[in-house]
């Protein structure tokens, strides 16, 4: 990784492990050794095992549910249905439209219908088989376009249109000298986190419950669980347990309410763990999209207008579809100066699995389309694709098509220019290479035959944090005290560490601000106020800012004590546990604090955002992050197999907080982008998932992931703590279109759909395999027909 310092600031502290250092994960070694306790490993004596009965049908009326046979089984402690939900029978983050347990109707395959608690997981599983549900199977609506039509069955009382966002900008009649059109499709990607949904609910004996859980946002879970249990929130306490990845898939509830219902019903601790197959049914996925685009430009390559019609399949329930629909509408044109735009973004209910948050959140789908369009336009204009982008790159001070002024920094031009400058990988002769350096790898499909190289570029952007008027805040409490003769800082937040590295960021900020090396980041729970969601790349910014401000308050109180005691008026600092004034140590912290503890709570709210008006105009977002990618691929054009040779990327991160963790985010995000480009898709037929396992839901392995060259820009955002920008999502956004652009470059195929399959690359079934000589062809006649040869 190369970083390009674009400004220098005096380091706040020389204390080790502060911001800017590659501080290691506290759970890194235990995870590698298999010793880390994930939520699926939780255990208490006497606990029961919960299990969920799910609908086999994507669309059906429920006539009746018989539970007696299951209840009669030895070892079964509870069988619950919708009748047993104590409070609100539905849940949902944006719109509570999803039944805790289905009644009357199921709207997707895998919808939860009944629960069992038993003394052994196998007993629970067998008991599920004894629950009889009488379904009247209905024709499923399995396609968003079908769901839009007048005569489609209405899946919800509100109709099938879950959200529509229109962005109207400039002249709707704008005409252009050069026009390109395209249709693009994105398949349903899964977060494919490794730790299945799991948790442990322990009743407190007084009507309340403690839930140990893997989630992205403790407080939004707490609110929803409490509503459905009909309890005040303080009687439902959540503690974050070991999370095995999230990527958006843990924003919605899975087994939270269910485990608590079973625990309160049985007065016993209840653990629930989904199996892998159940997990694929148990969380939301990335929205599939169909997108029609038209770009108009002048002959010299200035964009005149963009028209886009975006149709998203939201699946059976709302989840966070509303926000995805808005995001897609606002990012549909890409990070370009577009004088006129008409964007329609439609989100539909269908009987497919519900879709919701996943890394990139609406920006991923449209980036695939707008970047393909830019390449198409470049080709039509005879321009270099990067030059075309540079020519249209958006800049601070301009307006996005949704009316918001582009804030500083928005270095689209810089990142594109720099990514092009990163040295290209060597190209050795394909014939005779090590198999691992060829498409197909050790599967030995080519020794160099048919291998062609291609290069593609893409740039993408996305909002950081929650948008459109949401009060997106975080709470942090910092305490400083002396323990065993040493100053110790404790950080209390409810922010979920899901593997992204916030625990390090929090500690690094505390070390930097308080000059104390010994920082303990306490387990996240609902005793501290909400930290908001670990999503939208927002925690380093929002919780980071809360931690920073709380540390500053603590520090100010120490300085007051110092001033009271020593009358020092010079600028004070804390370094390595000592108070410094004017470069001189004046006292150790220990002396100042004695046995006292200084503690401060801060609730940090970032600049307010606003909903879009009816023309899709408004200051909807508060920070934007940009990344550009260059992909080099090699394609076996006869077999359609791909080797991604290298990804080069430039990303503006404002400030590098933890270089190693940043590298990890960038490489991981690119792996997920590569997965979407080449292999990751939940295949659905008639509303049913065909590949609910890692046997056939393929994610890239280490042999599929290329080396990544990265160059990092640090253009400080003047409003953000340390100037930082969220880094988690941008690597996923433009990596996918860059890879597909490289494939197009190598093969000259359209490739309007991702994931690209081998058959698309070689044009099957559209084109018969023309390279094989047919019996009548001239090449064939030299050899003769087999039957003829046999006779002679």
Which CA distances in Å does 206 have to 203, 231, 255? 8, 12, 22
The verdict on 73 binding another protein (CB under 8 A) reads no
**Closest separation in Å from C-beta 30 to another protein:** 20
Q: Could you say whether residue 444 binds another protein (CB under 8 A)?
A: yes
Tell me: cis bond preceding 246? Omega within 30 of 0 counts. no
Phi and psi (nearest 5°) for 278?
-65, -35
120 binds another protein (CB under 8 A): no
Least Cβ distance, residue 744 to another protein (angstroms): 19
Which CB, 64 or 695, lies closer to another protein?
A: 695
Looking at beta carbons only, is 203 or 706 nearer to another protein?
A: 706
- Taking the complex as a whole, how short is the minimal distance between the CB of residue 425 and another protein, in angstroms? 17
> Pick from 398, 431, 608, 748: which binds another protein (CB under 8 A)?
431
Question: What is the rounded distance in angstroms from the CA atom of residue 347 to the CA atom of residue 324?
Answer: 9
The answer to the question of residue 75 lying near another protein (CB under 8 A) is no
Do the bridges between strand 473-483 and strand 451-463 make them parallel or antiparallel, or are there none, so unpaired? unpaired
Rounded distance between C-alpha atoms, residue 738 and residue 736, angstroms: 5
Phi, psi of 202 (to 5 degrees): -125, 115
Rama region for 298: left / alpha / beta (φ>0; ψ in -120 to 50; rest): beta
Q: Does 762 sit near another protein (CB under 8 A)?
A: yes
Which residue stretch of 401-409, 569-577, 708-716, 766-774 sits at the interface with another protein (rule: CB under 8 A)?
766-774
Of 398-406, 434-442, 509-517, 555-563, the segment contacting another protein by CB under 8 A is 434-442
Give the dihedral sign, CA 32/38/40/42.
positive
Interface positions, 638-657, toward another protein (CB under 8 A): 638-641, 643
Q: N- to C-terminal Cα distance for the chain? A: 68
Q: What is the DSSP letter of 721?
A: G
Q: Does 789 bind another protein (CB under 8 A)?
A: yes
Select the span of 280-288, 430-438, 455-463, 711-719 touching another protein (CB under 8 A): 430-438
Instruction: Confirm or reject binding of residue 678 to another protein (CB under 8 A).
Output: yes
Helix residue ranges, H only, 34-176: 68-71, 121-130, 144-148
Our finding on whether 772 is near another protein (CB under 8 A) is yes
Burial group, residue 389, by CB count within 10 angstroms (0-12, 13-18, 19+): buried
Between residues 299 and 779, which has the closer beta carbon with respect to another protein?
779
Site map (CB under 8 A) of another protein, residues 372-411, x = contact: ----------------------------------------
The DSSP string of 296-331 is EE-TTS-EEEEEEEEEEE--SS-TTHHHHHHHHHHH
Question: What is the nearest approach in angstroms of another protein to the Cβ of residue 584?
Answer: 59
Cβ-contact 162, 350 below 8 angstroms:
no
Closer CB to another protein, 207 or 773, in the complex: 773
- C-beta of 357 vs 679, nearer to another protein: 679
Neighbouring C-beta atoms of residue 723, cutoff 10 Å? 18
Q: Is 779 in the site for another protein (CB under 8 A)?
A: yes
Q: Do residues 160 and 349 touch, judged by C-beta distance below 8 A?
A: yes
User: What CA–CA distances, in Å, run from 759 to 202, 291, 451?
Assistant: 51, 22, 16
Q: Measuring CA to CA, how many Å separate 553 from each of 276, 478, 479, 547, 782? A: 46, 9, 10, 10, 88
Give residues with Cβ within 8 angstroms of 169, minimum separation 6: 338, 339, 340, 341, 342, 401, 402, 403, 615, 616, 617
User: Which of 230-238, 410-418, 431-439, 540-548 is the region at the interface with another protein (rule: CB under 8 A)?
Assistant: 431-439
The residue among 595, 561, 558 whose CA lies nearest residue 481 is 595
Q: Segment near another protein (CB under 8 A), from 2-10, 340-348, 645-653, 691-699?
A: 691-699
- Residue number with CB closer to another protein (138 or 698): 698
Contact status: 707 vs another protein (CB under 8 A): no
Residues in the chain: 792
Give the count of beta carbons closer than 10 Å to the beta carbon of residue 770: 9
> Which residue stretch of 176-184, 370-378, 653-661, 700-708 sits at the interface with another protein (rule: CB under 8 A)?
700-708
Stretch that binds another protein, among 18-26, 282-290, 446-454, 470-478 (CB under 8 A): 446-454
Under the binding rule (CB under 8 A), the answer on residue 442 touching another protein is yes
Span of 169-177, 436-444, 565-573, 651-659 interacting with another protein by CB under 8 A: 436-444
Q: Where are the alpha helices (DSSP H) in 567-585?
A: none
- Give kind and range of the element (H or E) at residue 31: helix 28-33
Residue 696 near another protein by CB under 8 A: yes
Report in angstroms how near the CB of residue 7 gets to another protein at its nearest. 42
Nearer to another protein, 143 or 688 (CB): 688
Question: Which of 695, 718, 776, 791 touches another protein (CB under 8 A)?
Answer: 695
Host H or E run for residue 515: none
- 189: helix, coil or strand? coil
Closer of 74 and 772 to another protein (Cβ): 772
- Is residue 481 involved in binding another protein (CB under 8 A)? no
Residue 194 near another protein by CB under 8 A: no
Nearer Cβ to another protein (75/87) = 75
Contact 265, 78 (CB under 8 A): yes
CB of 508 to another protein, least distance (A): 36
Q: Which of 99, 700, 723, 730 binds another protein (CB under 8 A)?
A: 700
Judged by CB, which is closer to another protein: 257, or 677?
677
Site for another protein in 321-380 (CB under 8 A): none
774 sits near another protein (criterion: CB under 8 A): yes
Q: Annotate each residue in 125-154 with x if it binds another protein (CB under 8 A) or - if it does not, as one string.
A: x-----------------------------
Q: Which of 441, 469, 588, 664 binds another protein (CB under 8 A)?
A: 441
> 588 forms bridges with which residues in the sheet?
578
Backbone angles phi, psi at 291, to 5 degrees: -135, 130
Rounded CA separation 626/339 (Å): 20
Beta strands 473-483; 598-605: pairing state: antiparallel
Binding part of the chain for another protein, among 75-83, 541-549, 656-664, 757-765 by CB under 8 A, reads 757-765
- Chosen residue from 37, 134, 379, 449 binding another protein by CB under 8 A: 449
Decide: is 758 part of the binding site for another protein (CB under 8 A): yes
CB burial class (10 A; 0-12, 13-18, 19+) of residue 526? buried
Nearer to another protein, 348 or 430 (CB): 430
Shortest distance (Å) from residue 604 CB to another protein = 42
**Binding status of residue 765 toward another protein by CB under 8 A:** yes
**Bridge partner residues of 165 (DSSP):** 345
Distance CA 331, CA 462 (A): 7
Name which of 481 and 691 has its Cβ closer to another protein.
691
531-564: b (≥16 Cβ within 10 Å) or e: bbbbbbbbbbbbbbbbbbbbbebbbeebbebbee
Residues touching another protein, count (CB under 8 A): 52
Residues 224-283 that bind another protein (CB under 8 A): 275, 277
Q: Does 447 bind another protein (CB under 8 A)?
A: yes
The torsion region of residue 564 among left (phi > 0), alpha (psi -120 to 50) and beta comes to alpha
Q: Which stretch binds another protein (CB under 8 A): 61-69, 100-108, 242-250, 758-766?
A: 758-766
Nearest 5°: the CA angle 172, 173, 174 is 95
Interacting residues with another protein (CB under 8 A): 125, 275, 277, 431-432, 436, 440-447, 449, 638-641, 643, 678-679, 683, 690-691, 693, 695-696, 698, 700-704, 757-759, 762, 764-765, 769, 771-774, 779-780, 782-783, 786, 789-790
């Amino acid at each position: 990784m190369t970083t390009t310092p674009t400004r220098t600031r005096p380091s706040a502290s020389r204390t080790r492990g502060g911001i800017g250092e590659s501080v290691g994960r506290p759970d890194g070694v235990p995870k590698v050794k298999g010793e880390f306790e994930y939520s699926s490993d939780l255990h208490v004596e006497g606990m029961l095992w919960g299990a969920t009965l799910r609908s086999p049908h994507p669309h059906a009326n429920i006539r009746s549910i018989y539970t007696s046979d299951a209840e009669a089984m030895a070892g079964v402690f509870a069988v619950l249905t919708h009748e047993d939900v104590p409070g609100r029978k539905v849940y949902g983050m944006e719109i509570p439209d999803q039944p805790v347990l289905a009644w009357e109707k199921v709207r997707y395959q895998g919808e939860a219908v009944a629960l069992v608690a038993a003394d052994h997981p196998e007993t629970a599983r067998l008991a599920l088989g004894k629950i009889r549900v009488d379904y009247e199977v209905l024709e499923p609506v399995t396609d968003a376009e079908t769901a839009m039509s007048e005569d489609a069955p209405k899946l919800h009382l509100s109709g099938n249109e879950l959200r529509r966002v229109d962005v109207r900008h400039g002249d709707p009649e704008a005409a252009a000298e050069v026009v390109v059109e395209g249709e693009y499709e994105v398949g349903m990607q899964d977060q494919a986190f490794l730790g299945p949904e799991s948790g442990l609910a322990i009743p407190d004996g007084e009507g309340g419950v403690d839930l140990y859980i893997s989630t992205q946002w403790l407080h939004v879970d707490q609110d929803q669980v409490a509503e459905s249990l009909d309890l005040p929130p303080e009687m439902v306490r959540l503690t974050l347990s070991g999370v095995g990845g999230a990527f958006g898939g843990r924003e919605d509830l899975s087994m939270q309410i269910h485990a608590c219902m079973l625990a309160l019903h049985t007065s016993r601790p209840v653990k629930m763990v989904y199996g892998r197959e159940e997990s694929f049914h148990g969380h939301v996925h990335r929205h599939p999209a169909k997108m029609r685009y038209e770009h108009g430009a002048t002959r010299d390559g200035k964009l005149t207008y963009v028209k886009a019609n975006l149709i998203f399949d939201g699946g059976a329930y709302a989840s966070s579809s509303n926000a995805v629909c808005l995001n897609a509408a606002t990012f549909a044109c890409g990070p370009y100066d577009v004088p006129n735009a008409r964007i329609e973004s439609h989100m539909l209910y269908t009987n497919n699995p519900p879709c919701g948050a996943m890394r990139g959140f609406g920006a991923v789908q449209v980036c695939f389309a707008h970047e393909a369009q830019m390449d198409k336009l470049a080709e039509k204009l005879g321009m270099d694709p990067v030059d075309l982008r540079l020519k249209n790159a958006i800049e601070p001070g301009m307006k996005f098509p949704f009316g918001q002024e582009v804030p500083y920094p928005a270095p689209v031009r810089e990142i594109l220019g720099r990514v092009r400058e990163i040295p290209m990988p060597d190209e050795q002769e394909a014939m005779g290479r090590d198999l691992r350096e060829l498409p197909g790898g050790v599967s030995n499909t080519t020794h160099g035959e048919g291998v062609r190289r291609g290069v593609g570029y893409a740039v993408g952007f996305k909002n950081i944090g929650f948008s459109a008027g949401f009060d997106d805040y975080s709470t942090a409490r910092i305490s400083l005290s002396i323990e065993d003769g040493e100053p110790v800082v404790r950080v209390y937040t409810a922010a979920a560490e899901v593997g992204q590295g916030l625990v390090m960021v929090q500690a690094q900020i505390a070390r930097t601000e308080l000059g104390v090396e010994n920082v303990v980041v306490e387990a996240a729970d609902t005793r501290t106020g909400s930290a908001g969601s670990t999503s939208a790349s927002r925690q380093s910014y929002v919780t980071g800012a809360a931690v920073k401000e709380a540390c500053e308050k603590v520090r100010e109180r120490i300085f007051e004590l110092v001033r009271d005691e020593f009358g020092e008026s010079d600028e004070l600092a804390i370094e390595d546990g000592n108070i410094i004034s004017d470069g001189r140590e004046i006292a150790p912290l220990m002396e100042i604090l004695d046995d006292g503890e200084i503690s401060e709570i801060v609730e940090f709210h970032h600049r307010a955002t606003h909903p879009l008006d009816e023309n899709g105009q408004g200051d909807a977002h508060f920070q934007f992050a940009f990344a550009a990618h260059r992909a080099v691929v090699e394609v076996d054009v006869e077999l359609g197999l791909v080797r991604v040779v290298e990804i080069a990327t430039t990303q503006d991160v404002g400030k590098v907080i933890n270089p190693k963790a940043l590298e990890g985010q960038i490489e991981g995000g690119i792996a997920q982008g590569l997965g979407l480009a080449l292999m990751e898709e939940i295949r659905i037929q008639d509303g049913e998932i065909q590949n609910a396992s890692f046997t056939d839901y393929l994610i890239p392995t280490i042999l599929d992931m290329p080396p990544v060259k990265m160059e990092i820009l640090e253009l400080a955002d003047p409003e953000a703590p340390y100037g930082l920008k969220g880094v988690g999502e941008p690597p996923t956004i433009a990596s996918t279109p860059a890879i597909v652009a490289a494939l197009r470059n190598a093969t000259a195929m359209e490739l309007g759909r991702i994931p690209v399959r081998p058959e698309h690359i070689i044009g099957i079934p559209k084109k018969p395999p023309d390279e094989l000589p047919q019996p009548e062809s001239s090449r064939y006649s030299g050899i003769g027909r087999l039957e003829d040869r046999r006779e002679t």
